[in-house]
Amino acid sequence: MPAQETVLPPPPPKKHESFMKFGHAQQQEPSPDFSGITTDVNTLSRRLRLLEEGFTNLRRFFQVTEENMIAKNKHFSAEIKTVASDINEIRKEIQELKDRLILVIRELQSVARKEEVKVLERYINMWNPIRFVTQNEVEQIINEVLDKKQQ
């Protein structure tokens, strides 16, 4: 069996008692080492500056984004107004076309139909108006006939 080593507790720290003796100055305790704390504070300060810079950059980014959104919103609003105006103009033009089409339909309803024109054509062909004579022609023919009889 291996020999057991006994672990002794560390000796208690020495107490420096400082007191005034006649004409002697007070003994100073050794100053604690703050270099670790200073390093930690510097590290934290640097990290804090980095975080603040990051937040500043984020604020700028969000401000630019917000400005861009406002500009785009104005642009889109103007586009929407233009499109709405164009739509209203197109609606008016369509209404005018409808009105004109209704007018043309009414006019076409008052025009003679094909069957009616055919009936008129048959009557004209039957009467043969080319052979009609005017009143002056009839009077002239009568006068000629009367003249021939008198001679």
pLDDT digits (tens, 9 = 90+) for 73-86: 999 999 999 999 99
pLDDT for the residue 8:
58
pLDDT of residue 151: 81
Residue 32 structure tokens: 């604690």
With a cut of 90, say whether residue 5 has pLDDT above it: no
Q: Which residues contact 26 (CB under 8 A, 6 or more apart)?
A: 18, 19, 20
Checking if the pLDDT of 19 tops 50, the result is: no
**Cβ distance 20 to 26 under 8 Å?**
yes
- Distance CA(40)–CA(37), nearest Å, equals 5
Query: Rounded to an integer, what distance in angstroms lies between the CA atom of residue 34 and that of residue 49?
Result: 22
| C-alpha separations of 18 from 24, 55, 58 in Å | 11, 52, 57
Taking only the tens place, the pLDDT of each residue in 28-76 is 666 667 778 999 999 999 999 999 999 999 999 999 999 999 999 999 9
CA distance 17 to 19: 6
Instruction: Assess whether pLDDT exceeds 50 at residue 1.
Output: no
C-beta of residue 34 within 8 angstroms of C-beta of residue 42: no
Q: Which residue has the higher pLDDT, 67 or 14?
A: 67
The encoded tokens of residue 125 equal 């062909």
Per-chain mean pLDDT for the chain? 85
Q: What is the pTM of this model?
A: 0.47
β-bridge mates for residue 24, sequence order: 21
Residue with tokens 């003249």: 147
- Percent of all residues in the chain with a pLDDT value above 70, rounded to a whole number: 79
Give the pLDDT band (50/70/90) at residue 26.
Answer: low
